[in-house]
Structures are given as structure tokens and as C-alpha cells.
Amino acid sequence: MLTNLITPAQHAKLSDYAKLMRLDRPIGTLLLLWPTYWALWLAAEGFPSLGNLLVFTLGVFLMRAAGCAINDFADREVDGHVKRTKDRPLATGRVTPKEAVALFVGLGLVAFLLVVLFTNTLTLYLSFAGAALAFIYPFMKRYTHLPQLFLGMAFSWAIPMAWAAEAGELTRLTWLLFIANVLWTVAYDTYYAMVDRDDDLRIGVKSTAILFGEADRLIIGCLQAMVVLILLLVGRQAELGALFYLGVAVMAALFVWQQLTTRNRDRQACFEAFLNNNWAGAAVFVGLMIQSWL
């Protein structure tokens, strides 16, 4: 029915907007969603309020989509030179830079409105820093070899926001979880950057994959080990039970699998290791959620 109401050109444009927001590739949304859920469940010391669950689920979707739009705006001059990204809507000219910026602003305003209407003042204040991180991250690969660190902070800022919305305050556990997620994001996004390393070297884009060089897997392994250790510390301080620790153990096992499967640094293997982190984050959440029911 809907397709009869719009022209083929409008349908094609909507399809390009959907691709710009990565609606066809939900992995980024999931990687952002799991730690947000960790924060909500830990802050609530059980099942969080339904309102906060809905607000942050929708907020994660909106901000990830907005982040993709501004990321492609920042990369519009280089995406066409990278095999993996050469067909993106901005790189091919099917979407204009102005449209990408407008989409980023529009999605961000809707997410901000959710915070204003349905959360508290502390969460509102924290949202400004979150918006700033989402905007500046895509440009960092021009100036530093640590864009993955800025992505980690942007992806992790939902943790203090969700915690503040649910508990009305921030605690030591909040920041332990934040640090764990920053380290985890740097680790998995370095796998992602390893996929494009040859192209990035050729066009002059910076990344941790380039910075780490032949020590990439070793450093990723160290980061992963620190993530596991911090989560164990979180579990101890929050007095969580065996099911949470089982979830962390599954995450650790998946980290080992990622190390083994990327030993030859094959592009496809690195990409699959990146994707596998969805299950690592989900394992921790499932353990935490089931634990809250007991």
C-alpha cells in the first residue's frame, strides 16, 4: 500500500536514507544497546522501569543512526576510495552532504526530546556531552591514530546517561562499567579497522589498527583481558551471582575465539571477529538479566 503512495524516485531516496542510517546493518545498534542495558539493569538492581527501557532502546537506535549519518558526512571524500565503503549513498552522490547533516540534526533532536520529556535533569546535562562525542568522533581519524578511543567514549556515554535516568545519581560502578566498555569498543573496532588497514594507509586515514601495527592482536588481547577483569570487579562490588559471572565467562571464551580466528589477519576473519562481539555483549546482558529475576 505504501509503495503506491510514493514515486520510484522517492522510494529510492528513502532507501538511500535507510542505508545512510545503516538500517540494513544493525550490528552497531546492538553493540551500543548491550552496555546500555547493562547500565539500566545494574542501576536498577533488577529490572529497570519500562519507561527508561523504552526511552533508551529508542535513543540508542536514533543516536546510532545519527552517528552513521555524520560519520559518512565526515568520510564523504574518502569512502569512494575504500573497497568496503565505495557504494555508500554519500560516496556515490545519491545523498547530498546537506541531507546527511540534516538527518544527523533531526535524529539527534528527536533523541534529545526523549531525554527532555522522559528523564531527569542529570540525564539531560549528560546528554550534551553525548551529542558532542557523537559529532566529533568521525573527524578524529584525520588528526589522531586513536579514533577508536573517541568511538569508545561516544558508544559508552549511554552508560552514565542510562544510570542517571534509572538511579538519579552516578556511582563508582557507573564509571567502572564505562571504562570497561571504552576498552571493549577500542578492541572490537580495531578488528573493524584491520579490515580497511591497507586502504587507510593508502589514503592517509588514521586508526588504532595502523598505530598498533604487528602488535595489533596482542594489544587487542590485553584490552579484552582488562574488560573481563573490570566486569568481574563490577560483579563483585555489585554482589552479583553466578549467572552474571557465567555471562562474563562466555564473553571471555568468545574473545579467545576472536584471537584464534584472526591469527592470519585475514580481512574476512577480522570482520567476523568484529561481528562476534555482538554475542559477547549479549552474553553478559543475558546473565545479568536472568540473575535479576532470581
Q: Alpha-carbon torsion 40, 43, 44, 49, what sign?
A: negative
Q: How many domains does the chain have?
A: 1
The residue assigned the cell 602488535 is: 215
Residue 69 lies in a domain: yes
- Compute the Cα dihedral for 30, 161, 254, 201 and give only its sign: positive
Residue 9's pLDDT band (boundaries 50, 70, 90)? confident
Is 201 within a domain? yes
- Is there a domain that residue 228 lies in? yes
What are the grid coordinates assigned to 166, written together? 534509572
Contact 35, 155 (CB under 8 A): yes
Q: Which domain holds residue 174?
A: 11-293
Site of grid cell 587487542: 220
Res 2 pLDDT > 60: no
> Residue 211: in which H helix or E strand, if any?
helix 208-212
Q: What is the CATH number of the domain that holds 177?
A: 1.10.357.140
Instruction: Give the model's pLDDT for residue 140.
Output: 87
Q: In the structure grid, which three cell numbers stand for residue 10, read together?
A: 522517492
2 domain-assigned: no
C-alpha cell at 250: 562466555
Using the predicted structure, report yes or no on whether residue 1 has a pLDDT greater than 70.
no
Task: For residue 4, tell me if it sits in a domain.
Answer: no
**Full-model pTM:** 0.93
198 domain residue, yes or no: yes
Domain membership of residue 212 (yes or no) is: yes
In this prediction, residue 4 carries a pLDDT of: 64
- What pLDDT, in 10s, does the model give residues 168-223? 999 999 999 999 999 999 999 999 999 989 888 888 889 999 999 999 999 999 99
pLDDT confidence bin for 294, thresholds 50/70/90: confident
